[in-house]
Amino acid sequence: MTLVFEKKESKLEYWFTILALLSLSGALLPLFGEQRLARDSDVNTGRMLTNTAIFLAASGIALYRWGVTSVLLSRNLLVAALFLLPLASMVWSADPDVTFRRATAHLLTGFFCIYIAGRMTPEELMRRLMLAFLIGGVASIAYIGIGMGVHVGGSLGGAWKGVYGQKNELGRIASLAIIVSLFVTPTNARERLMRLATIGIFAIMVIMCQSRTNWLTLAVMLAVIPLTNFLRDRRVAPSLRLGLVVTAVVTLVLGVAVGAPMILAASGRDMTFSGRQTLWHGVNSIIAAKYQYLGAGYGAFFTENGASYMVKPYIAHWRGVPSHAHNGVINTRADMGIPGLIVLAIFVIGLGSRLLHKMMTDGNRKAWPMFGAVFVLFLINNFSESVAFRHSDIAWILVLIAYLYAADPLKAARRVPVVRFAPRVGPQPVFRRDP
Displacement of CA 257 from its chain's centroid (Å): 25
Range in 175-179, 265-269, 389-393 the model is least confident about: 265-269
Q: How far apart are CA 311 and CA 281, in angstroms?
A: 10
Mean pLDDT of 286-310: 94
Range in 31-35, 46-50, 54-58 the model is least confident about: 31-35
Contact 402, 374 (CB under 8 A): yes
More confident residue, 384 or 327: 327
Judged against a pLDDT cut of 70, whether residue 35 lies above it is answered with no
- SS3 for the chain, per residue? CCCEECCCCCHHHHHHHHHHHHHHCCCCHHHHCCCCCCCCCCCCHHHHHHHHHHHHHHHHHHHHCHHHHHHHHHHCHHHHHHHHHHHHHHHCCCCHHHHHHHHHHHHHHHHHHHHHHHHCCHHHHHHHHHHHHHHHHHHHHHHHHCCCCECCCCCCCCCECHHHCCHHHHHHHHHHHHHHHHHCCCCCHHHHHHHHHHHHHHHHHHHHCCCHHHHHHHHHHHHHHHHHHHCCCCCCCHHHHHHHHHHHHHHHHHHHHHHHHHHHHHCCCCCCCCCHHHHHHHHHHHHHHHCCCCCCCCCCCCCCCCCHHHHHHHHCCCCCCCCCCCCHHHHHHHHHHHHHHHHHHHHHHHHHHHHHHHHHHCCCCCHHHHHHHHHHHHHHHHHHCCCCCCCCCHHHHHHHHHHHHCCCHHHCCCEEEEEEEECCCEEEEEEEECC
Sign of the torsion formed by the C-alpha atoms of 192, 193, 198 and 203: positive
Q: How far apart are CA 103 and CA 111, in angstroms?
A: 13
pLDDT attached to residue 424: 43
Mean pLDDT of 159-180: 93
More confident residue, 169 or 363: 169
| Burial of 418 per CB tally in 10 Å (0-12, 13-18, 19+) | middle
Q: What backbone torsions phi and psi does residue 432 show, to the nearest 5 degrees? A: -140, 160
Per domain, the residue ranges of the chain are 7-433
Beta sheet of 426-433, edge-to-edge order:
4-5, 415-422, 426-433
Mean pLDDT of 272-277: 75
Percent of the chain clearing pLDDT 70 (strictly above): 86
Q: Residue 8: pLDDT band by 50, 70, 90 thresholds?
A: low
Mean pLDDT of 386-400: 94
Range in 1-15, 138-152, 194-208 the model is least confident about: 1-15
Range in 112-116, 259-263, 280-284 the model is least confident about: 259-263
Mean pLDDT of 409-435: 44
pTM flag (> 0.75): yes
pLDDT attached to residue 323: 87
pLDDT attached to residue 369: 93
Contact 100, 90 (CB under 8 A): yes
pLDDT attached to residue 302: 94
Judged against a pLDDT cut of 70, whether residue 45 lies above it is answered with yes
CA distances from 142 to 30, 97, 136, 147, 150 (A): 12, 40, 10, 9, 11
Q: Residue 417: pLDDT band by 50, 70, 90 thresholds?
A: very low
More confident residue, 34 or 32: 32
User: pLDDT tens digit string along 132-141?
Assistant: 999 999 999 9
| Cβ neighbours around 399 below 10 Å, total | 22
pLDDT attached to residue 363: 76
User: pLDDT tens digit string along 335-362?
Assistant: 999 999 999 999 999 999 999 999 988 8
The rounded mean pLDDT for the chain is 86
